[in-house]
Amino acid sequence: MRSAFVCALLSCVAVASIVLTNHAVELRAAAPGAIRGRVTLRTVVPVNERRPTVAELGTPRERDFSDRLRSVVYLESAPRGAFERIEPGRVVMDQRNETFVPHLLAVTTGTVVDFPNGDPFYHNVFSLSKANRFDLGRYPSGKLKSVQFTRPGIVRVFCEIHSHMNAYILVFSHPFFAVTDDAGRFRIENIPPGTYNVIAWNEGTASEPKPVTVPDGATSEADFTLR
């Protein structure tokens, strides 16, 4: 009886060790990597000016100027299984002093973007982009309207009342993208090992796809120059 119990225990330990070992191998094989780097802009796209206010009775109000230094870096094609891992969230694109803040958003499909009006006058956010066409109508200060972006693509956002207001929302069907900081630095996390084409994008200009290999659990570097 005692020997039978020892045999059973040893069997269990053996099975458990095999299972755990295999799992560890699996974990090691799936250890994600990252891509980091920098996007350098030779020329920065200037901020949109108002159309000449010839028909107005006076000088239009001062407005904020959004910077155009930020870019988006993304994998051209995502690894298998990436699409099941999307967790759509909720982000905000504010309207302040006749400017969309931030000027650039990158989101996954299904994400809801809130457009609060932070100005003491009407705005009317709309987009005629094929990927996501919408028109939120006119709404006053303090109000918020939202759009769920269900299709991947580049969405150019405007205000119908203030023609100089515009912004970009890049909608991806996978989560492997990053928005650079003002210095152009970026880091895309949790990429399964493999070789991918990586693209940098800024204000309507995209780089040529650059092949980048992500080793098991390590970080690769890729730099881009645009314009």
Partner 1 sequence: MYSAARKAVKLIPTYNSLPVRTLSPWWLAGLTLAMTSGSVGAAAQSLPSEPIVFGDGRVTIGAEVTGTFACTNSATSTSEVCSDDTGYFNYSDYQHSTLRMLRVDVSTAVKATERLSVLAEVRSEDGERVRPYALYVRLKPWSERAFDIQAGRVPPTFGAFARRTYPSDNLLIGYPLAYQYLTSLRPDALPANADELLRMQGRGWRSSFSVGNAAGDKGLPIASAFRWDTGVQVHGAIRIVDAALSVTTGSLANPLVGDDNGGKQIAGRVSVRPLPGLLLGVSASHSPYLTRAVTRAAGVESENRNYTQTAFGADVEYSRDYYLVRFETIVSDWRLPLVAAPSIRLPLRATSTLVEGRYKIRPGLYAAARLDHLGFSEITGTTRTSTWDAPVTRYEIGGGYSILRNVLLKGSFQYNSRPAGRTQKLKLGALQLVFWF
Q: Which positions touch partner 1 (CB under 8 A)?
A: 46, 48-59, 61, 121-122, 126-128, 133-135, 137-141, 156, 158, 164
C-beta closer to partner 1: residue 48 or 97: 48
Return the closest-CA partner of residue 169 out of 213, 89, 108: 108
- Contacts of 83-92 spanning 24+ positions with Cβ under 8 A: 83/173, 83/174, 85/175, 86/110, 86/173, 86/174, 86/175, 88/112, 90/114, 92/116
Nearest distance, CB of residue 74 and partner 1, angstroms: 23
Burial label, 47 (beta-carbon count in 10 A; 0-12, 13-18, 19+):
middle
Q: Give the shortest CB-150-to-partner 1 separation in angstroms.
A: 15
Distance of closest approach, residue 76 Cβ to partner 1, in angstroms: 23
Instruction: Compute the least distance from the CB of residue 23 to partner 1, in Å.
Output: 51
Residues in Cβ contact with 221 at an 8 Å cutoff, skipping those fewer than 6 apart: 35, 36, 37
Q: State which residue, 51 or 80, has the beta carbon closest to partner 1.
A: 51
Nearer to partner 1, 43 or 195 (CB): 43
The amino acid occupying position 226 is: L
Q: Which is nearer to partner 1, 95 or 180 (CB)?
A: 95
